[in-house]
Amino acid sequence: MRKAERLFQIIQILRRSSRPVTAAQLANELEVAKRTIYRDIAHLIGQRVPVDGEAGFGYVLDPQYDMPPLMLTPDEIEAVLLGVQMVEKLGDAAITNAAKDVTAKITSTLPGDLLPFIAEPAVSLRPGDSIGGSMFDTRPLRRAIREGRKIKLEYCAVNGEVTNRIVWPVLLGYADTRSLLIAWCESKQAFRHFRTERILDLEVLEETIGLSKRTLRQQWRQFRETELSESRPTP
């Protein structure tokens, strides 16, 4: 790894950590000697990068420090491209187009020496069919989740029964071969998973949920933990 890349990675590691990072931890992740880390830290400080700390204690980066967000490493570029390939398999046209837009934006800002990592990445998913291939437009669902608004659903159950429900959307998830709307159902007074291909019609209501997204999601996680614990066999 070139020194410039290593310095960039040190900043990234410090940026993502909420605790002091020791030279040993940095050396282990970057696969270099600790004395190299000491020299690199001294170089960063000499370049007025606000790194604080000392050997044996650990280093922290001033959270106010800013760096161009698209100065990506080859590993980060390939992680993004792999994510885009995964998104394309979801069968959601709006999300797929957004992922392609991200790739185009990254490509337009990268220096020339990094463009080959976009053109010929070292990672790829196995070619195959999309997860759902559904033409269902998830944009109203995602907007309702972002804005904390209730949704009126016309939903067809597995047995063919069609019901109308008011739900509080929590998350749009993907599992196996289907996409699911995770929501609190007012009529059932419980969290439910609605398969998007069974949603016949939906309307995003003006009425808000009345809970923060964070609180609602925490309640769903607690529900899931309880559900999973009850399903485990007793030893």
| pLDDT band (50, 70, 90) for residue 133 | very low
If you write DSSP's letter for every residue of the chain in order, what string do you get? --HHHHHHHHHHHHHH-SS-B-HHHHHHHHTS-HHHHHHHHHHHHHTT--EEEETTTEEEE-TT----TT---HHHHHHHHHHHHHHHTT--HHHHHHHHHHHHHHHHHS-GGGHHHHHS-S--PPP---S-------HHHHHHHHHTEEEEEEEE-TTS-EEEEEEEEEEEEEETTEEEEEEEETTTTEEEEEEGGGEEEEEEEEEE-SS-HHHHHHHHHHHHHHHHHHHSPP-
153, with CB counted inside 10 A (0-12, 13-18, 19+), is buried
**Which of 37-41, 65-69, 98-102 shows the lowest mean pLDDT across its residues?**
65-69
Q: Which residues contact 189 (CB under 8 A, 6 or more apart)?
A: none
pLDDT at 59: 93
| pLDDT band (50, 70, 90) for residue 49 | confident
CB 165 within 8 A of CB 186: yes
Q: Which residues contact 195 (CB under 8 A, 6 or more apart)?
A: 178, 179, 180
**Which of 22-26, 89-93, 100-104 shows the lowest mean pLDDT across its residues?**
89-93
> Roughly how many angstroms between the first and final C-alpha of the chain, as a whole number?
50
| Average pLDDT over every residue of 136-140 | 82
Amino acid at 180: L
Name the residue with higher pLDDT: 219 or 16. 219
| Predicted confidence (pLDDT) at residue 199 exceeds the cutoff of 60 | yes
pLDDT, the chain, mean: 84
Q: Which residues of 214-227 are buried (b: 16+ CB within 10 A; e: fewer)?
A: eebeeebeeeeeee
pTM: 0.60
pLDDT digits (tens, 9 = 90+) for 161-178: 999 999 999 998 877 657
Name the residue with higher pLDDT: 222 or 131. 222
| Predicted confidence (pLDDT) at residue 132 exceeds the cutoff of 60 | no
